[in-house]
Structure 1
Amino acid sequence: MATTSSGTGFDLATFRRALEEGDTDTLISQFADDADIETVDRRTPPSMPTVIHGRDSIEYYMRQVYSMDTDHEILQCVMEGDHAAYTERCTYPDGLTVMSMTMLDLTDGRITHQSTVQAWDEEAPDTPRVVDFATTDARVEFDHGHTEAVRLAGQFLNRMTLEPGWRWSEHRGAEAGTDLCMRTHTCLGMEGTLAFRTADGEEQRVGPGQVAFIPPGHDAWVEGDEPAVIVEWSMDR
């Protein structure tokens, strides 16, 4: 099977090189405007996959992934017709290894759908390590807030600071291309209050010292005049 281009006009060799070198501009340019990325792993099983919709949201996701000091290695890469597939090994500074298998659906030289199944080391490394959100290079700014990300002992931790007036449906919904947030969150409230409402109408609040699990299909907003600071963690990239 060819590993360069196909009748779709998609250049797999360029895409592979961008994946391994962390060339986010080239990676993002390979996706169609209304593309989807769907990820399945232990935390988000097939019944509740993580879904990222639209190139703007994919760009935000890609820049977060490649802001980390991570080695990306493509082990196998194939293409046939309007489909491509690859296996990838990612190694983080703390020794965590993530293996993934990805299928790409292609139309007119662009990715329209990406499906990824991934797994990672279950045991945390033995070497002690301390990280500081304040010094991480993985900081992303957005309307009414910002995030800072670190990886520690096999987990990805993300500190979100959300300003008063922030609401997911208002400030992120258009970019995501969905009415509700379709990502899963397991988080700890540090400051302020974050409220959320699920698709079935259940509404709850997360305050300082409270831990919450928020399933996909929800809206969320900052309640009150104080910024909400939330730390969320996961094992995925």
Structure 2
Amino acid sequence: MSAQKAISFEADAYRRALEESDADTLIAMFTDDAEMEMFDKRTPPGSPAVWHGKDAIAPVVRELCEREMRHEILQVVSDGDHVAYTERCVYPEGNMVMSSTMMDLRDGGIAHQVTVQAWDEEESDRVQVGDFDASETRESFDHGHAEMVRIGGHNVVRTTMEPGWRWSEHMRERAGTDLCELTHTVLLLSGTLRVRPEDGAEEEVTAGCTAFVPPRHDAWVVGDEPVVAIDWTGKD
């Protein structure tokens, strides 16, 4: 469980924390057993992104606060047990994300949060080139690493998973969920990846193949060759 001290929810404090990208304060307002749901074009109603528990929600909030964007809450409505608000986020280049969020409160904390969001598609009149090897956004994890570039209004991720890597063994504690809650659309450049959705219907993806993987799945490297995959839906 999270060791972070809980604080009671207050609308004004929440607004300040969100607009100042204060992740610690935002996380502390969730109950330990809170649930967060996210709906957008990548995670539609049939397969939303869902995080269970404060420990799973914390890295999502931190990643959001680390983004180079300006957060602004436009309207807030609260009856003491429920809070609804609209938010506008603006990237440095001017592209916007608009969202509506509903939160249920319990014992002074956020027990359930649902967000529906939409964003501008980035337009450009010039050719854009991304270089994974020169990316400043690099994340290392047990048995692998990932680099990200932003191009055409989307984040594109190159992930390398070494032999022996398995999501449920090497990423579960980091994510705070039993299964991966992200949606992926990937192209495998090398190696073989086995994917097991929640329903148990396993599929094997080999080099040169593309795959759509809905939320709530496990995955692992098959054989002695590293898996290198390009993912253009995982972290927008």
TM-score of the superposition, structure 1-length normalised? 0.82
Moved over 6 A (4+): none
Contact 2:97/2:120 (8 A) holds in 1? yes
Measure, in 2, the Cα distance between the counterparts of 1:146 and 1:57. 20
Aligned to 2:60: 61
Contact 2:183/2:233 (8 A) holds in 1? no
Aligned to 1:29: 28
Shift of 1:39: 0.8
Measure, in 2, the Cα distance between the counterparts of 1:30 and 1:9. 6
Structure 2 unmatched runs, 5+ = 1-6
Question: In the alignment, residue 108 of structure 2 is paired with which amino acid?
Answer: G
Larger CA deviation: 95-104 vs 189-198: 189-198
Deviations along 1:76-118, one digit per CA (max 9) or x if unpaired, are: 2232212112211122244432111011112222222110011
Contact 1:161/1:227 (8 A) holds in 2? yes
What secondary structure, in the 3-state scheme, does the structure 2 residue paired with 1:202 have? coil
Deviations along 1:42-84, one digit per CA (max 9) or x if unpaired, are: 2222121111222232222223333332222222223221211
Measure, in 2, the Cα distance between the counterparts of 1:92 and 1:139. 20
What secondary structure, in the 3-state scheme, does the structure 1 residue paired with 2:62 have? helix
Contact 2:185/2:234 (8 A) holds in 1? no
* CA RMSD after TM alignment: 2.6
Aligned to 1:47: 46
Question: In the alignment, residue 120 of structure 2 is paired with which amino acid?
Answer: D
Question: In the alignment, residue 17 of structure 1 is paired with which amino acid?
Answer: R
Measure, in 2, the Cα distance between the counterparts of 1:142 and 1:35. 26
Aligned to 1:163: 162
The alpha-carbon distance between structure 1 residues 177 and 66, as it changes in their structure 2 partners (threshold 3 A), is: closer
Contact 1:37/1:58 (8 A) holds in 2? yes
Structure 1 unmatched runs, 5+ = 1-7
Aligned to 2:180: 181
Aligned to 1:75: 74
Contact 2:56/2:177 (8 A) holds in 1? no
Measure, in 1, the Cα distance between the counterparts of 2:234 and 2:213. 16
The alpha-carbon distance between structure 1 residues 10 and 187, as it changes in their structure 2 partners (threshold 3 A), is: same
Measure, in 2, the Cα distance between the counterparts of 1:191 and 1:67. 31
Measure, in 2, the Cα distance between the counterparts of 1:135 and 1:26. 34
Count of aligned pairs between the two proteins:
230
Measure, in 1, the Cα distance between the counterparts of 2:59 and 2:192. 25
Aligned to 1:211: 210
Contact 1:94/1:153 (8 A) holds in 2? no
Question: In the alignment, residue 124 of structure 1 is paired with which amino acid?
Answer: E
The alpha-carbon distance between structure 1 residues 137 and 108, as it changes in their structure 2 partners (threshold 3 A), is: farther
Deviations along 1:132-183, one digit per CA (max 9) or x if unpaired, are: 3344444444333333333322212233232322222223345556543333
Measure, in 2, the Cα distance between the counterparts of 1:158 and 1:63. 19
What secondary structure, in the 3-state scheme, does the structure 1 residue paired with 2:180 have? coil
What are the equivalent positions in structure 2 for 1:104-123 lying under 5 Å apart? 104-122=103-121
Measure, in 2, the Cα distance between the counterparts of 1:11 and 1:131. 42
The alpha-carbon distance between structure 1 residues 217 and 102, as it changes in their structure 2 partners (threshold 3 A), is: same
What secondary structure, in the 3-state scheme, does the structure 2 residue paired with 1:234 have? coil
Question: In the alignment, residue 202 of structure 2 is paired with which amino acid?
Answer: E
TM-score of the superposition, structure 2-length normalised? 0.83
Measure, in 1, the Cα distance between the counterparts of 2:233 and 2:217. 18
1:14 and 2:13 aligned: yes
Measure, in 2, the Cα distance between the counterparts of 1:127 and 1:106. 47
What are the equivalent positions in structure 2 for 1:142-153 lying under 5 Å apart? 142-153=141-152
